[in-house]
Amino acid sequence: MNTKLELVNTINDAALAGPVLYPWDSGPAVAQLQEFLCAHGFMMRVDGDYGSVTEAAVKTFQRQQGLRANGIVDAKTWAALKGTVLPGTRILKLGHSGGDVRELQGLLQVHGYNVIRNGIFNSDTKLAVIAFQQKHKLKANGMVDRITWTILRGGSPLPPLPEQGRWYINFRKWW
């Protein structure tokens, strides 16, 4: 029988999980990967295609995190991507998960909203975000952008977005 703590820990593990992705895969899971890479400072187009640019970014991220740099996005890579993403580096919406969602849920609790802090942006989290946005006369769409983050944090500005310097060099270009 699961205790409440075991259930929360299981949900937290689920918040850090993702499908195994290989170079040249495509689809919504690859688009999610690209969103996380952008949130970590790797500037790229989010198109859902795991091409050479995405592969280079994954390998660089894996090296930075002390993981095996093979370009395969496995459970350890997903956990590192989702667990280290900073609040405000991506727009949060229903279905997202990760450390930034957990931080959002904690701030909503501080503001008096009854949400479970499990790192998964579910319908309860969305309703709390909408209520918060309405209370503060923001655009009440249930998506958490940098403006909503700033108000949640009591007006303190978010740190600047991360940037990765010279992580991708295309040697095929001669100019």
Rg (CA), the chain: 17
Cα 123-128-130 angle, rounded to 5 deg: 95
pLDDT higher than 60, residue 1: no
Contact (CB, 8 A) for 141 and 133: yes
pLDDT for 13 equals 74
pLDDT higher than 50, residue 10: no
List of domains in the chain: 19-83 (1.10.101.10), 99-152 (no CATH)
Q: Which of 11-20, 49-58, 64-73, 103-112 has the lowest mean pLDDT?
A: 11-20
pLDDT tens, position by position, 72-82? 999 999 999 99
pLDDT for 164 equals 78
Rounded CA-CA distance 83/145 in Å is 19
The pLDDT of 33-41, averaged and rounded, is: 95
pLDDT tens, position by position, 96-134? 999 999 999 999 999 999 999 999 999 999 999 999 999
Dihedral of CA 149/153/158/164: which sign?
Answer: negative
The pLDDT of 28-34, averaged and rounded, is: 97
Average pLDDT of the chain, as a whole number = 88
Strand, helix or coil for residue 167: coil
pLDDT for 153 equals 92
> Read out DSSP for 68-137?
--SS-B-HHHHHHHHHSPPTTSS-B-TT-BSHHHHHHHHHHHHTT-----SSB--HHHHHHHHHHHHHTT
The pLDDT of 30-50, averaged and rounded, is: 95
